[in-house]
Amino acid sequence: MYLGNLITAVSLRKCFYLSAMVLIVSTLMAAIIIVKLSPLESVKCQPHAVTATLEWSTLLNNPTKALITTSENTIKMEKHDKSDRGVQQEIIQDKSSKMARQMRNKVLPLLNSILVVEPNYNVHIFYYAWYRSKEYDGVWRHWNHDYLPYWKKSDKRIYPEGSHLPPADIGANYYPTLGCYSSMNPQIIDLHMRQLKEAGIGAVIVSWTPPTSNENTDSIMPDLLDAAHRYQLKIAPHIEPYEGRNPINLMEHLRYLFSQYGSHPALYRMRRESDGTVLPVVYIYDSYVFPSSAWWELLSEHGNLTLRGTELDAIYIGLLVDAQHKNHIKKSHFDGFYTYFGINGFSYGSSWKNWKDLNKFANQNGLLFIPSLGPGYIDTRIRPWNAENTRHRRHGQYYEFAWRSAVNSGASIISVTSFNEWHEGTQIEPARPASNRDFTYLDYEPEGPEFYLNLTKWWVQQFSDKLNAASSALS
């Protein structure tokens, strides 16, 4: 009896040590995997930190009305098991076909039933005017984007180099219905503004660089403002990190911007809650690269170079990527913040699960919170080493989850990334099937080229209804 008890005790002790070893090894493996995750670069290819990807299942803890609820887990390939690839590919195709049928049978009739949606000025969308075509401008720009080198020198894999060769070969995973257009073409501008108006978008956040920069997008602003005005839209500048940008020369560039366009009726303005002043809105990309003390000098009423109460006063919106940027935004005296990246799980700011907390933080500190959502993400035609940050569209399912998360966060303004950032595959602009000798582009089939514009329109209506209901409850 005693021997039996001793054996049992020894066995239990062995089991305990074995379990402990398994736990330690598992923890180390997880740490190694996290360390090896490659950070995604910003639009200007500056690396950011990455958080672990949020699985779809974590979103299903709360009831959701999303029309398609297949989780990402159920259709993800197990790439490490080559022997199962054929079977898994069939499963993926079957799931994809099922989702497409659901979209055709359930969602598309709902989208087509909405005839007219009025522009909602609390819905913003990022717009890029940097495309040039050889036919219209005499030179290609951006459609011929370079393959970008991997910043992680430890990776010895060989990736494509050089530039793309439009019009058949472009720096994007999707191909635009309009082909390789020029952003300078007034007909293209007019069509874009009409499409945005019909989708219910109210404010177009235009990527902006000053006339002195190499990537000069200022020259197109007059045409954009005039076209936006024709369609009752508003335009706000999205200040890019152009070469040599700093808070001091930014002040001079803002002076130019407001002197040129400050009186235009299409320039987007908002009422500042603290004093009721109606001011232009300015988004500043990569604002965190400068210390909060530098921004404080411009944005605090007590700063030595303060813009407050001057002709350069505005609603300044900074970029929040990581959790520590909350403190940076607050100390800098920004009026609010946005998250830009439509990549769930890529960063603290872009992760849907954090949006309610970010909205709470904003409310507690008198700030605007503007979550940024997107239909998906894929940039492997310019960053071939960045496949792990791809977010597949799932026939609109990804976009639906993103919209629902933003609407439920309590934010009063929502931004969409993007109308036409083709390089990163975040566009809702119409795309069509296309291929060349070496590559077949992704598309929106079988839902059709206008699908994401229509899906946006549907969600803008849901968001508008919620804002109207909240306003009625307060009155």
Residue 72's pLDDT is 41
Q: Kindly report, residue by residue over 328-367, the tens digit of the pLDDT.
A: 999 999 999 999 999 999 999 999 999 999 999 999 999 9
One domain, residues 307 and 448 = yes
Is the pLDDT score of 118 beyond 70? yes
The CATH number for 339's domain is 3.20.20.80
Q: Kindly report, residue by residue over 393-436, the tens digit of the pLDDT.
A: 999 999 999 999 999 999 999 999 999 999 999 999 999 999 99
Residue 448's pLDDT is 95
Let me know if residue 257 belongs to a domain: yes
Q: Which residues neighbour 278 within 8 Å (Cβ) at sequence distance 6 or greater?
A: 269, 270, 271, 272
Q: Which of 124-133, 153-162, 187-196 bottoms out in mean pLDDT, i.e. has the lowest? A: 153-162
Which one is predicted more confidently, 212 or 422?
422
Residue 109's pLDDT is 67
Let me know if residue 418 belongs to a domain: yes
Any idea what the Cα angle at residue 427 is, between residues 422 and 431, rounded to 5°? 80
One domain, residues 8 and 151 = no
**DSSP 8-state symbol, 347:** S
One domain, residues 131 and 273 = yes
Residue 75's pLDDT is 37
Q: Which of 73-87, 413-427, 432-446, 452-466 bottoms out in mean pLDDT, i.e. has the lowest? A: 73-87
Q: Which of 3-12, 83-92, 219-228 bottoms out in mean pLDDT, i.e. has the lowest? A: 3-12
Q: What is the pTM of this model?
A: 0.81
Residue 166's pLDDT is 98
Most confident of 95-104, 244-253, 286-295, 463-472: 286-295
One domain, residues 10 and 159 = no
Let me know if residue 65 belongs to a domain: no
One domain, residues 139 and 260 = yes
Let me know if residue 420 belongs to a domain: yes
The confidence band for 154, taking pLDDT boundaries of 50, 70 and 90, is confident
Q: Kindly report, residue by residue over 23-56, the tens digit of the pLDDT.
A: 444 433 333 322 333 333 343 444 443 333 333 3
The percentage of the chain sitting over the pLDDT mark of 70, rounded to a whole number, equals 76
For the residues 180-209, what does the mean pLDDT come to? 98
One domain, residues 24 and 115 = no
Let me know if residue 200 belongs to a domain: yes
* Contact of 240 with 234, CB cutoff 8 Å: no
For the residues 161-188, what does the mean pLDDT come to? 98
One domain, residues 432 and 286 = yes
Q: At what angle do helices 355-364 and 397-408 cross, to 10 degrees?
A: 30
For residue 287, give the nearest of 333, 232, 255, 252 by alpha carbon: 333
The confidence band for 266, taking pLDDT boundaries of 50, 70 and 90, is very high
Rounded CA gap, 106 and 92, in Å? Answer: 21
Is the pLDDT score of 461 beyond 80? yes
Let me know if residue 67 belongs to a domain: no
One domain, residues 32 and 105 = no
Residue 306's pLDDT is 97
The upper half-sphere exposure of residue 42, i.e. CA atoms within 13 Å in the direction of its Cβ, equals 18
User: What is the extent of the structural domain holding 22?
Assistant: 1-36
Is the pLDDT score of 214 beyond 60? yes
Is the pLDDT score of 57 beyond 50? no
How many structural domains does the chain have?
A: 2
One domain, residues 29 and 152 = no
Kind and range of the H or E run holding 258: helix 247-261
Q: What is the rounded average pLDDT for all residues in the chain?
A: 84
Let me know if residue 46 belongs to a domain: no
Residue 162's pLDDT is 96
* Contact of 127 with 208, CB cutoff 8 Å: no
One domain, residues 140 and 249 = yes
The confidence band for 215, taking pLDDT boundaries of 50, 70 and 90, is confident
Q: Kindly report, residue by residue over 157-170, the tens digit of the pLDDT.
A: 889 999 999 999 99
Let me know if residue 159 belongs to a domain: yes
Residue 392's pLDDT is 97
Q: Kindly report, residue by residue over 269-310, the tens digit of the pLDDT.
A: 999 988 899 999 999 999 999 999 999 999 999 999 999 999
One domain, residues 135 and 282 = yes
One domain, residues 221 and 298 = yes
